[in-house]
Structure formats: C-alpha cells, structure tokens
Structure 1
C-alpha cells in the first residue's frame, strides 16, 4: 500500500491510493505524454481508436457545456417566474436514464421538490397522474421521443390534464434533440420545446437542457452549478500529473485492467447523497462492454458492507468532505476520495470516465447491449403467449429460473439460497432488479446491505426499468461474473396507455421478462420471483434479509 496521495486542485480536492505506485505513475505519465487532457478538451475523437472515432465525433460537446449551456439560463429563469406566477409549483419530470438521474440529484442537493416518473409500473404512474393537477407542470425529456416509457408517461399526463379540463400544451414542456421526431411532433402540437445539444450522449447530459430545464424550473440554482463546473475546466485541460481527471480516470482504468472491476461508491458527508446513482449510470454504461468494464456498487454510506469491509476486486470511492480512509483501507489497495461541489463532481466524473475508457481500451460513448433488452420487450408485447410458465409456485411466489436451478428445489427460500451459492467467490456479484413501485416499496432497498453481508460479495440494487438505462449495459456487456435476482409483481390495478394497444402492466412485464431472457441467453443465472400481489413484498423482504 502506498502512502495516501492527497492533492488539492482548483475546484476539487482529490485523494488517491493504489497498491503499486510505479504502475499508477506509469499510467498517468502515459496519459500526460499522449496529451489526453488537452485533446479531450479540444474534442479530439481519435483518442479511443478508429472503431470509436465516428461515435466519439458526435458525443464530445459535454466538454464545454459549463460555458455553452449558459445561454439557457435566462430562458429557464423566465419560464420559472411565469410558472410560479400562475401557481404552477409542482414539477414532475418524465424521463429515463440520463434524462432523469442528474435532475434528481441536482434538486435533492438544492433541497427543492422534483417528482421523477421513471417507471412503467401502473401503480407508480397512477400516483403521479392523480396528484394535484391544478398546480402541476410536467417536463417530458427524451432525446428522440422514441423511448416507450417516456412516450407512455406523456400520454398518461395528456389524458389526465384533458380529463381535468386543462390544455396539456399549457402544462407540458418538452426537452429533446433538435430535429428529432419528438421535436417535430411536439412543435406541431403546440408544446413549449427546449432543444438540447445533439452532440452529447444521454449519460453525459447533466449540464445540457436535459439536466438544467427540470432542475431550474423546480427552483435549483443552476447558475451556481455551472460556475462550479466551469471552475474545474482549466485543471482538466492540463497535460500534467496534476490534472484531476487524468489522475482519477487513470486510477479507475488501471484497476479495471487488473480485474479490480467493482467501483464501490459511498457518500462521505456530501449534501448530494444521490450522486452515486448518477455516477452508476455514467460509469456502468460507458465502460461495461466487450467483456470489460467497471461495475458501480452504490452503498450509501462508508460504514455499509462492500465498503466496510471491502473485497479484493473493489475500488473504494467516497464523495464528500469526510474522507473515510484514515480508518478504512481498501482490500484491493485502490481507493479515492473526491471532495468537490456538485457541478465540479459532474464535470470531473465525466472527464475521468472518458479517460478510464481510453485506459481500458473501449469506446466510452456507445451502449451496444442496451438495445437487446428493448427488442426483447417489444417481442414480448407482440406475443403475450411467450410469457414463460413458472418452474413452481410457492404460496405468493411464482418462481422462474433456467436449467441452473435443480429440479429438486421447490421453495422460494431454497431457490434464493441456490442462486447465492452460484456467486463466484473471487470475482462474482449479485444484482437485485426490483420491478416494483420504488416509492411504495422503498424499504426493500435495504436488502442490499443484508445480502452483501450474507454473501460477502458486492451486491447492487436497481429499480426496474430505470436500471435498464444504467447498469443494464454492464450486466450484458461487462465481465460475465454476475448472478441476477429479479423481483416482479402484479399491480394493485392496471392502467391503460392512451392510444396504445398495450397497458402499463403489459409493458412493464415485457421489460422484466425480456431482460431476463437476454441475460439467460448470455449464460447469466437469473432467478425471477413474481409476487401475486404487492403486499407480498414484505414476506419476500424477510426471506432476503
């Protein structure tokens, strides 16, 4: 273990540790010699190799967003003032992945209310659309408008507004890419449209209209956020060992190449506790492909299992002013403490993720395996008879599994124990996918801690379908070391999708079953436990704990 390398730069305070000082120094020195800092700042698409060049050429505008997005600030402020004057103080955001994760973090950090609808669960959608519509404005965010979840949510709110005698065009604001089908259709229909920079990928879009419009309308100080990000730009442009983006990205990339591929994220006193969820999507979707990558494991606090204690294949990263590393040492030797305001954190992590992609040898701007789950969901909707029958039923639980589960297993408890027993001790992980109502069933997320203690391995917890736009890429494209526990349920009541031939529950179910089929086809062990009713989640929680 080296001495703690503690460096304070403008806008960010970064401390790193690493098991081999010479290997880390060589990694950073190579990045400096290759002028990676200045070349990323200049938006050089050749940095990630010939195969990535075409994609990178249209995905690098995030580098200058702290300056280029400032033109939006006055427009957003004027619209917020108008909305508040009209008594429209409830802001709902319909969006998935990069369209929702950053605004959720930004607003939570600012202490302003923003309701995020990022689910197809009919109970969740019904709760959102049945709120007080007299004071509601809805932001619908989608780069193309083709995301079925977001389109369905928009349709539900349009119907709810019309039923309440309210013109939807007065209450729905669209954020999309210029010239997209969504842009053209929304403009013709009379909606207010904000057009984002099209040369920024979804997961790098926190400082575009996708992150700024809902956050600003909710009341967050987005100008201060931009100032924080811009203050870090000169340091990130340096071809120097002092560049925090090269140092953090070099550490992440080096660790991944040494099979230290779990990125355990914990809040250490930061006001933006949800930052880990945003980093999770950025890192997992950017690096998890072609059998490589880093799996973010969001644990909440530094005293949580997987951070304390940690495993030998994990990098420990804390964000916030209270560095835990005086008391905690990573089992792998790889660790980082990042103390910076939220805007600087966003800019630093985007830069470091791009750097890590170069070190690992992958394109950090594509997501080749995300479409497979979407296609599987569409096929399920086209053929409801394709819904698989359970292996067995145990009370309130219908248990679905592949041939990896022995035929002698006849209870949900035994099935769970068998799944946990398939985790490879040195490199495996468990991913829990909860296709439930993340507000009503929020307490279930605590099983992550229990399962991590029980298995002594990294455990992630994701709400479906939002994780499909995040860690879903890593599950299918990253190292084949995961096992998967999928939890689905019947709703309290289904809900029609206006103008569609399927209901919200039919689509929700197709997403879960489709993703399970894709994972199984790739040889991943998947256990799906389907609850006969939402109340059964309490019983399942007891089994998992």
Structure 2
C-alpha cells in the first residue's frame, strides 16, 4: 500500500490480516469510538481518563505566548543554556527536540539529564556556567525520585553562584503536586501546569514537550500547526495515518512479528528512543507486548528471524541511500516493512501525534489498556526498601554472586556455579522469538556504546535474535515495563559499575552512586521475582577494564 502522504506498507505475510483488521476497524466505527472515548475499545477500565492527548494541540496553543515570553525574559537576563531534569516522557521528548533541531539563533542551548549516575551528573554540571543557566525540572507526579534528587543537587549548586536560585529554576508538573508546592515555596521563576488526564509518555505535545522546545527556539506555531494537521488526519476514515500504523503493528503482532525494529533517518535519529518508550510501556503488560528494537546494528538480512516487523522513519528531505536499500532488501526477503515519510524536521510534532494515536489503536487490537503501567512500581518499591536498609545499616543488601572473572563479579538467576557456566546457561537458553536486552548501569561514554553495539551485533548474528540496549536508570521509565509485564521472552544482561568519584545528594545519606546502584539492584530483584533470565556483571576494576573483560567473556562464549 502506498498512501498519498508518501507512506509505504509492504507487509508480506501480514498483509491479509492487516486488510482484515482495517475492515474490522471501519465496520465497528472504531475511529469515532476512539475520539468518543469509548472504553470498550480497550478493556472497559479507566481509559477514558487518559485521553486528553487527543486534543492536546488545540488545548496548548494558548500557552505559546507565555512560553515565548519566558524565553525572551531568560534571554534578556543572559541565560545561555537550559538544563532539563526529568525521566521517561518528561525527558525523552525534550531530548529528541534538542538533538533534532540543534542550537537555534538567539535561544538557549537545551541539555537533558535523566540519570542518577554520578559521572554523568558531574560531567554535565562541569560543562555549564550555572550563573547563565535555567534549570527546568519536569515531573507529572512531582514525586519521581530522579528529578527530585537532581533538583536538590542543582539547586544547591545554583546557590553557590547566584543570590536567588529560584530565578534560575522553572517547573512543569501537574496541579497540586509536591513539586508545585516546592516551586511556590522556592519562588521558582515559572511553573507550567501539566494536564492530569495526559499520561507522561503521551505528553509530547503538552507543556512537558512544548516548554523545552520553546526555550530552545523552536517555532511553536509552525510546530503545533503541523501537529494539528496530523490530529485532523487522524479523525479521518480514509488513509488515517494513525489507524494505518496501529493496524499494521497489531496485524504484525498477531502474526508473531512482535519485534518492532526501528530504522530511523539520521536527521530524526533520537526519535527512536521516544518511540521505544511509547511502544514498550504502552503495550508490554499482562504477558503480551510489542518489543521496540532501537539503534540495533545492521545485520545481514539472513540473520533476522521471523519475529520482526521493520518500521522506517524516513526523512524525505534528507534520505539515506543505504537505509533505502536496506529496507528494499528486507522487503525482497519477505520481511514486513513500514515506511513512514516525514517531509522535514518541522513535522516532528506531527510524528509524535501519529505514533500516540497508532499505539492507542494497537492497544485496542491487542485488547489491553495502553495507558497504564502496572509493573513500573515494582522495582521502585524494592529500591526504596534497599535505600531504607542503607539508611539503617550503611550498606546495600546485594545478592550472592556465583564468582569473579576478569574483574567482573557475576550474579545470575539461572543455574551455574561459575561465571563462565552461568553465562553459557543464559546464552543457551535463548530460543526463537526471544530478545536479548543489555541493561547498562554505567556511564554513557562512546567507549561503552561501541562495546555494547559490538556485543549486540555478535549476539544478533549468532543467535538470530533481536537485541536492545538501555542505560539505567532511564530505561526503567521506558522498556522496564515491557521487561517485567510483557511476555517472558527477554534474556537480560545487566551491567553495573562504581563511579570514578561519587557525588553527594544534599540532605540525603545515600549518594548518587548509592542511589543508582540501589536502582540496579531493585531492577535485578524485580526481574528475578518475575522469573526472568538475568545475569549481572559488576565491573570491579573500572569502566574501561570492565568493558574489555565483559566483551572478551561474552564473545568467547558465543
């Protein structure tokens, strides 16, 4: 199928189910029912309470003048940089905006911090002149641990260089939250309200997305105009872009192709991480789920299994010949492919909307509630208990290891009385339809990224499985829901390390290093309690030595 928008659906073995899905959707008047907030489209629960994203564009147009005014004020006050503190939907959309549009003339440079790893926190702090920085803290609930401790740290750092720290802080949060109260008490420069009826991962076109975009110099009128055009297109019966994408994902799921493998033009590269969160957290629950595969190294076409559907986000103004050829080769080999044509980067907001609508459609077809996240809280509660134990005893309760190997301390949930045998057991457990997830609680350096990508490519080639990579703790607010609530098809390699130098959290006994380690342990325990296959490698001799040892151990076991 070729649409007038330029999208191409070549769905191979999924085409008959796709066509029947579209007929069923039309016959049941499902688009009108979705806009009418009919909960029977999903599970009949509280889905209607979470659908204000449908009209987010029109609802937030009146906010543009306030955001513009704030942007002018901070520029006139000499602000050159904007640092956003958030997690999940509150940080991933701003990160996409920052990387896609880049620095804009006469606007603050936008930076995003969504990590508690002390090396990352310190590096970003050292790169900024806080006297000329506006810190924006974004949290819907206002109680999320990571943005709150990051705010504690940066507010203390601001107090060292400016007389009135609150003039250098703005907040986005839902009305009545603890963060709103803190903002009032601290005389923050600005507080913008979230919409309680818009969930975090659907908040890209609310203040959580448009405030950072406006501060970074994005033309919000044009940005929302394009998103408004997509909103209207998603009301239609013919060639509804959200319905087509959602129906294709739903059809692929029922044909056993649940690994949504993203191929993204370089100009929109960071959008993959946002899609990853939206798809994984919305669909990965009650034992089902679509597994998004982002930034996977390209493999030979013969190395891909029959559980894949490839989705190509193609920037029409800057296409890559190699990516076009790759998608063509996949189609010729019989893999279903979806090509979404994006005219230019100014249509980014429109693509956010298309994907939100599509995921709502896919959730309906999968008979789940795409707006809840029932398993996210599990690792949070374990982490809280670990930190309470640290406050009482001065130590974290760590699981027993099976042994050390090359500076790596190895812990696992599978049988194995040595690191080598435990790894062999994990790798041999991989079956057709599984995926392997690298969970990296370490600094996001170029060296780490390159090492993990080599590991992914080798495992993907030798085992013919999809591989994913997430950096902790940010992925806990993204793919973490799928890991624990989705099907038991994940094999998890967790990597932890100690910081080069720890960093204190003002007013807390735990440091950033202790917090991030507790989050990793909480994740490991939550996966273990779900009966997942997990192996943990704790780098005892630093990041560089640990990465070398990890790669050698894994490559030698394949």
Q: Normalization by structure 1: what TM-score?
A: 0.92
1: distance between equivalents of 2:32 and 2:333? 34
Matches within 5 A, 1:520-539: 520-532=528-540, 533-539=542-548
Over 3 Å counting, the alpha-carbon distance change for 1:203 and 1:410 in structure 2 is closer
2: distance between equivalents of 1:275 and 1:20? 25
Query: 1:46-73 CA deviation, whole Å, 9 max, x = no partner?
Result: 42132x3x2x122101111122111121
Quote how far apart the aligned CAs of 1:385 are: 4.8
Aligned to 2:89: 98
Q: Does 1:86 align with 2:77?
A: yes
Deviates more, 1:163-172 or 1:371-380: 163-172
Quote how far apart the aligned CAs of 1:126 are: 1.7
How many correspondences in the alignment? 527
2: distance between equivalents of 1:506 and 1:314? 38
Quote how far apart the aligned CAs of 1:254 are: 1.8
Please tell me whether the aligned partners of residues 18 and 251 of structure 2 are also in contact (alpha carbons under 8 angstroms).
Answer: yes
Matches within 5 A, 1:234-383: 234-240=232-238, 242-267=239-264, 269=265, 271-299=267-295, 304-305=298-299, 309-320=303-314, 321=316, 322=319, 323=324, 324-329=326-331, 333-340=335-342, 341-383=347-389
Over 3 Å counting, the alpha-carbon distance change for 1:526 and 1:194 in structure 2 is same
Please tell me whether the aligned partners of residues 10 and 331 of structure 2 are also in contact (alpha carbons under 8 angstroms).
Answer: no
Query: 1:484-513 CA deviation, whole Å, 9 max, x = no partner?
Result: 000000111111111123111111111101
Query: 1:465-495 CA deviation, whole Å, 9 max, x = no partner?
Result: 1100011000111110111000000111111
Quote how far apart the aligned CAs of 1:359 are: 0.5
Please tell me whether the aligned partners of residues 303 and 460 of structure 2 are also in contact (alpha carbons under 8 angstroms).
Answer: no
User: Helix, strand or coil: the match of 1:93?
Assistant: strand
Quote how far apart the aligned CAs of 1:90 are: 1.1
Query: 1:105-128 CA deviation, whole Å, 9 max, x = no partner?
Result: 112111224221101111111222
User: Helix, strand or coil: the match of 2:34?
Assistant: helix
Q: RMSD across aligned C-alpha pairs, in angstroms?
A: 2.0
Please tell me whether the aligned partners of residues 310 and 330 of structure 1 are also in contact (alpha carbons under 8 angstroms).
Answer: no
Query: 1:248-297 CA deviation, whole Å, 9 max, x = no partner?
Result: 11111122123211100011x35211111110000000000011110000
Higher helix proportion: 2
1: distance between equivalents of 2:327 and 2:449? 30
Quote how far apart the aligned CAs of 1:444 are: 3.5
Aligned to 1:486: 494
Query: 1:299-340 CA deviation, whole Å, 9 max, x = no partner?
Result: 367xx1287742200111100135454332276643211112
Matches within 5 A, 1:121-520: 121-130=117-126, 131-191=128-188, 192-240=190-238, 242-267=239-264, 269=265, 271-299=267-295, 304-305=298-299, 309-320=303-314, 321=316, 322=319, 323=324, 324-329=326-331, 333-340=335-342, 341-383=347-389, 384-402=395-413, 404-407=414-417, 409-411=418-420, 415-424=422-431, 426-439=432-445, 441-447=448-454, 448-520=456-528
Please tell me whether the aligned partners of residues 38 and 239 of structure 1 are also in contact (alpha carbons under 8 angstroms).
Answer: no
User: Helix, strand or coil: the match of 2:289?
Assistant: coil
Over 3 Å counting, the alpha-carbon distance change for 1:70 and 1:444 in structure 2 is farther
Quote how far apart the aligned CAs of 1:521 are: 1.4
Please tell me whether the aligned partners of residues 451 and 551 of structure 2 are also in contact (alpha carbons under 8 angstroms).
Answer: no
Q: Does 1:73 align with 2:64?
A: yes
Please tell me whether the aligned partners of residues 14 and 251 of structure 2 are also in contact (alpha carbons under 8 angstroms).
Answer: no
Quote how far apart the aligned CAs of 1:437 are: 1.4
Unpaired segments of 5 or more residues in structure 2? 104-108, 390-394
Quote how far apart the aligned CAs of 1:195 are: 0.6
2: distance between equivalents of 1:228 and 1:252? 24
1: distance between equivalents of 2:550 and 2:332? 30
Please tell me whether the aligned partners of residues 306 and 458 of structure 1 are also in contact (alpha carbons under 8 angstroms).
Answer: no
2: distance between equivalents of 1:140 and 1:227? 26
1: distance between equivalents of 2:56 and 2:236? 18
Quote how far apart the aligned CAs of 1:36 are: 2.0
Q: Normalization by structure 2: what TM-score?
A: 0.90
Over 3 Å counting, the alpha-carbon distance change for 1:415 and 1:332 in structure 2 is farther
Quote how far apart the aligned CAs of 1:417 are: 4.0
